[in-house]
Amino acid sequence: MTLYWSSWSDFWAMGGHAYFVWMSYGALLAAVVVEMVLLRVRRRRALEAIEEERDLEAEN
């Protein structure tokens, strides 16, 4: 279970493939962050729609 890399700079350089490795992992991170934000937005909108429904009923 010893680490393969001898230093952090070694790790970030990814043997010269840093651009391709981190573009891949970065895209996954970005996709997860975007999905989490959209999930929150959707939940907030659903709750707002319920409030509007309640207000409409209260008016009638």
Partner 1 sequence: MNWFYFSSPSTFYGLAGRMAPWCFVAAAAFTAWGLYLGLGVAPTDAQQGAVYRVIFIHVPTAWMSMFLYFIMACYCGLTLVFNTRLSAMMARAIAPTGAVFTFVALWTGAFWGRPTWGTYWVWDARLTSELVLLFLYFGYMALANAFEDPRRGDRASALLALIGVVNLPIIYFSVQWWNTLHQGASVSFKGTSMHVTMLTGMLVMSAAAWMYAAGATLVRVRSVILERERRAQWVRNLGDA
Which residues have C-beta within 8 Å of that of residue 12, sequence separation ≥ 6?
A: 18, 22
> Scanning the structure block, which residue is given the tokens 């509007």?
52
Selected binder of partner 1 within 6, 8, 9, 47 (CB under 8 A): 47
Question: Does the footprint of partner 1 cover residue 46 (CB under 8 A)?
Answer: yes
Q: How far is the CB of 48 from partner 1 (least distance, A)?
A: 10
**Dihedral sign, CA of 40, 41, 42, 45?**
positive
By CB under 8 A, name the binding residues for partner 1.
1-5, 11, 14-17, 20-21, 23-25, 27-28, 31-32, 35-36, 38-39, 42-43, 45-47, 49-50, 53-54
